[in-house]
Amino acid sequence: MRSLIIINDPPYGTERLYNALRLAQALLTRDSEVTVFLMGDAVAGAKLGQKTPDGFYNTERMVRRVTNKGRVLLCGTCMDARGITEEETVAGSERSTMDALAEAIEQADKVLVF
């Protein structure tokens, strides 16, 4: 099964990004094909150098785990608006476009939006 997970919320302050990445990891353990598309404030979840308190989740590490078996696409316009460059993002994540998101939606069996 091909799943597309679209995430809009910031990495911290709500738990939507956290829970969506947990779901992506669970699907990947079931040999599903997973694409995560981060847009809006969610693109900051793939930023390098996040320092979180001990025992608190870290979205940089979570995104890295998803890139090991799945795909993480980052809205390029959203990155630009937040001053985030490709060099500042998790290795394996990819700058992307609305056209690529449209294509991913067409190819997905399931689309989930957080």
pLDDT, position 77? 98
Other CB atoms closer than 10 Å to residue 98's CB: what's the count? 12
Domains, the chain, ranges and CATH?
Answer: 2-113 (3.40.1260.10)
Spatial distance between the Cα atoms of 44 and 83, rounded to a whole number of angstroms: 10
Q: Identify whether the C-beta of residue 69 lies closer than 8 Å to the C-beta of residue 31.
A: no
Task: Name the band, by pLDDT with cuts 50, 70 and 90, for residue 27.
Answer: very high
pLDDT tens, 46-103? 999 999 998 899 999 999 999 999 999 999 999 999 999 999 999 999 999 999 999 9
Helix (H) or strand (E) holding 111: strand 110-113
Across 16-39, average pLDDT: 97
